[in-house]
Amino acid sequence: MSEIKDEKLEEQEVQENTSDEPEQVEEVVEEVDELTLAKQQVEEEQDKLIRLRADFENYKRRVQLDKASDHKYRAQSVLMDILPVLDNFERALAVETTSEEATSLVKGVDMVYRTLLEAVKKEGLEQIEAEGVAFDPNFHQAVMQEQDDSKESGIVLQELQKGYKLKDRVLRPSMVKVNE
């Protein structure tokens, strides 16, 4: 009988020991899971921080480029308004004069035109070279074609309206007649 009691006691101890082990194992597993979860959260937050910093640097660079571009092309709208005035001056200077009064008036208009041209050149306005050069769709707008055997194909034969650019940006392409 004592043997039976001893066996029952051993079974109870084994059961008690095994019942404690799962709790301890569960606690260790839960601690490990919480630790891994915390590490993952920290890594995610670090990734977010790195991305946010990169986005901010890109934003700063973009703003600086926009600011530099605005400064570089600040005169663009005014120059676009002045282009028709330059065209009108050129038309006025192309008129042939016969009287002395008209000749002196043309000289005065020419002086005003040259002064205006110098002022806009200081702001970066440049005429686009057209006549006698190869047609470039970035700078020229072909409105006519003509056959001239003495020149190569694709060469600008005549400039119908002057084109202008502000520094490296085309404000108005030259209207040209191109050789076929």
Q: What is the domain partition of the chain in residue ranges?
A: 1-72, 76-179
Please, which residues bridge with residue 69 across strands?
Answer: none
Interatomic CA distance for residues 29 and 39, integer angstroms: 15
| Percent of the chain clearing pLDDT 90 (strictly above) | 62
| Residue pLDDT, tens place only, 25-41 | 566 666 778 888 999 99
Q: Read off the pLDDT of residues 37-76 as tens digits, 9 standing for 90 and up.
A: 999 999 999 999 999 999 999 999 999 999 988 888 888 9
For residue 4, what pLDDT band results from cuts at 50, 70 and 90? low
pLDDT of residue 10: 55
Q: Domain 76-179, CATH 3.40.50.300 — does that match?
A: no
Beta partners for residue 158, in sequence order? 177
pLDDT at 13 over 90: no
Tokens of residue 18, six digits: 């095994």
